Chains A and B, each alone.
Chain A
Amino acid sequence: MKKYITLFHINWQNSLQYRFSLIVYIFGYSLYIGVLLYLWSAIYSEGQTVGNYTLSELTTYYLLQLMINSVIFSYVSWDVIENIKDGYFSNFLIKPIDYYFYWFTVNLSGKILEGLFIIIAVGIISIFFRGHLTFPGTSAALIYFLISVILGIVLSFEMDFCVGMITFWLTQVRTFKFMLQTIILFFAGAMLPLDLFPDFLVRISDFLPFRYLVYFPVSIYLGKINNPWPSFAILIVWILVFYGISRVLLLRGIKRYEAVGI
């Protein structure tokens, strides 16, 4: 356990070196969200409404999405892909450290650091839109929201780890990841709230795990889901399923790596 705590620390230091990229990224993404907020304001100012969302609910939705994109979404697979491709992976085969938990720790430590940055960024943007923000009606909603965020971090990491594992089999994995990322963001509700989608798309998204990354936590926050326990149960099942898949892919990947090399 101690080695993972040390790793956690070292990764923090390492990430701080890249603070400029982080600031750049946050700036870019905030710009994107800012534009979307203007888009919705324009639509509502013309007297139109979108689904059963009020303007402040939509504004809050996108600000939370901005936060979630940093706090929940895992991007370690870029490093995992790099790591396997350049053969650095061999070092892990000979060290007494678990590859899955190694990246789990790296991801978690990165997420907490990014979270601090993003909360500052969201805070600043909120000042501009302070008239248009919604807060959870009950303290229970806030607690449920936090639980869903924590579970989201785990699920997102597992899925991302699986994507990284594909490197063992697929050479064009970066292209694949780009496409998959867009699909995930789409069905997670990162671009538009899922209940605005046409029926058939909503039904597809119900069967996919991605909705638990954005749409689900934000809906809890907005008080649109009163009893989240059934969904929590399904979410935990997904987490277990992806843990299993991660482990199987890692085991088979190592076998393949040892047999043919990459």
Chain B
Amino acid sequence: MSTSIQVKNLSKTYEYFKKEAGLTGSLKSLFWREKLYNEALKGISFKIDEGELIGFLGPNGAGKTTTLKILSGILYPTSGEAVVLGYVPWKRSPEYQRQFSIVMGQKNQLWWDLPAQESFQLNKEIYEIDTKTYRNNLDELIELFEIKDILDIPVRKLSMGQRMKCELSAALLHSPRVLFLDEPTIGLDIISQEKIRHYLSEYNKIKKTTVLLTSHYMRDVERLCGRVIVINNGIIVYDGSVQDLMNTYGKHKIIRLRFSKEYTENGLAKYGEILERDGLCVVLKTGKEDIAASTARILNELPVEDLSVEEIEIEEVIKKIFTG
């Protein structure tokens, strides 16, 4: 299998100016402003094979999006190397641009006031797709994403989920060999999220497109990717199979409790590890396999007013990776 993406010691430092408070501060900044630096990427390296579907996981501001933007030629790196499909991304050669796509969950690339169909047509011309291929690809995508009925509605009138399906279709029309997805499920409801995940895994299976996807939802990655790269503070902290990551760090769940009256007994520890305790509220951690048993017991035996079960947050996982 050939290498699709190769990244070596990639670094990116953003420059910005310090904002001083107060009137004197503002006056001073007229003439002199202190320059500050933010190291978004601190020399990361990784390799991705053709056809892989890889998850890029990390908290906000970890450097996920920066990496994607460098790989698609939007940003210039401060130092380091990257080769995608044999091209250096930031040279932005049209040959490279015709072979990849980037979709960003929070940025709209379709024409807002026109139906999605019009943006598709425009992409056909921009990417110089011949009419026959265009028809075939479009039919395929319409079927896969089930967007037949929304093609003629102005994009601004679509729901978030519908819009994301159209964004993805627009990005896939020219059959890119590499697809970058930045938080494709952000802001979507649970059902739409599931659907988008389903489409993506289907597409990857059929087309063997290399997909690099960032997310801060554990679910996205767990569901879709064989391999995951976890990044935090501009450093890769984990690169390996999702299975291993989940086995090691994801085998717990969090239970949040609120009692109806003060509960002072010290027997709580038998239901799980106590993470926090603040008056009427308690946060417990328990093994994934005995979550059902634990909640049942808690509801039966304790004066509980409210109970919720949550996945361990990605921040937690990363913290654990760091502390070992």
* A130 contacts chain B at the CB level, 8 A cutoff: no
A13 and B22: CB pair below 8 A?
yes
Per-position 1/0 for A13-41, Cβ under 8 A of B: 10011010000000000000000000000
Give chain B's interface secondary structure class. helix
Within 8 A of A (CB), among B1-58: 22-23, 26-27, 29-30
Query: Is A9 touching B23 in the complex (CB atoms < 8 A)?
Result: yes
Nearest Cβ on chain B to A193's Cβ, whole angstroms = 35
Asked whether A12 is an interface residue with its Cβ less than 8 Å from the other chain, the reply is yes
User: What separation, in Å, do the CA atoms of A13 and B29 have in the docked complex?
Assistant: 11
Report how many A-B pairs have Cβ atoms within 8 Å: 12
CA distance A17 to B17 in the complex (A): 12
Chain B contacts of A17 at CB under 8 A?
26
- Place the interface of chain B in its size category: under 10
Total residues of chain A contacting the partner, CB 8 A:
6
List B residues 173-197 near A (Cβ within 8 Å).
none
Shortest Cβ gap from A15 to chain B (Å): 9
Closest to A13 in B: B26
Q: In chain A, residues 51-81, which have Cβ atoms closer than 8 Å to a Cβ of chain B?
A: none
Query: Given the complex, which residues of B lie within 8 Å of A13, measured CB to CB?
Result: 22-23, 26
Which chain B residue shows the least CB distance to A14? B26
Q: Is the CB of A19 within 8 A of B30?
A: yes
**Docked pose: A12 CA to B23 CA in angstroms:** 8
Please report the C-alpha to C-alpha distance between residue A208 and residue B306 in the assembled complex, in whole angstroms: 72
**What is the bound-complex CA distance between A13 and B23, given in angstroms?**
6
What separation, in Å, do the CA atoms of A16 and B28 have in the docked complex? 10
Q: A9 to chain B: which residues have CB within 8 Å?
A: 23
Q: How far, in angstroms, from A17 to B26 measured CA to CA in the complex?
A: 7
Per the bound structure, the CA–CA distance linking A162 and B30 in Å amounts to 34
Which B residues touch A12, using CB under 8 A? Answer: 23, 26
Chain B residue nearest in CB terms to A12: B23
Q: What CA separation (Å) do A75 and B174 show in the bound complex?
A: 50
Chain A residues in 8 Å Cβ range of B27: 16
From A9, A13, A19, name the one whose CB has the most chain B CB atoms within 10 angstroms: A13
The residues of A that contact B30 with a CB separation of less than 8 Å are 16, 19
Q: How far is the CA of A9 from the CA of B21 in the complex (A)?
A: 13
State the CA gap A172–B14 with chains docked (Å).
42
Q: Specify the chain A residue showing the minimal Cβ separation from B25.
A: A13
Q: Mark B93-105, 1 if CB is under 8 A from A, else 0.
A: 0000000000000
Distance from A254 Cβ to chain B, minimum over Cβ atoms (Å) = 33
Q: How far is the CB of A7 from chain B (nearest CB, A)?
A: 13
**From A10, which residue of chain B is reached at the shortest CB distance?**
B23
CB of A39 to closest CB in B, whole Å? 34
Q: Which residues of A contact B22 (CB under 8 A)?
A: 13
**CA of A12 to CA of B29, assembled, Å:** 13
Q: List 12 A-B contacts (CB under 8 A).
A: A9-B23, A12-B23, A12-B26, A13-B22, A13-B23, A13-B26, A16-B26, A16-B27, A16-B29, A16-B30, A17-B26, A19-B30
By a beta-carbon cutoff of 8 Å, the part of chain B in contact with chain A is 22-23, 26-27, 29-30
List 7 A-B pairs, minimum CB-CB distance, nearest first: A16-B26, A13-B26, A13-B23, A19-B30, A9-B23, A12-B23, A16-B30
Task: Taking A9-B23, A17-B26 as given, write out 10 further A-B residue pairs in contact, using a Cβ cutoff of 8 Å, ordered by the A residue number.
Answer: A12-B23, A12-B26, A13-B22, A13-B23, A13-B26, A16-B26, A16-B27, A16-B29, A16-B30, A19-B30
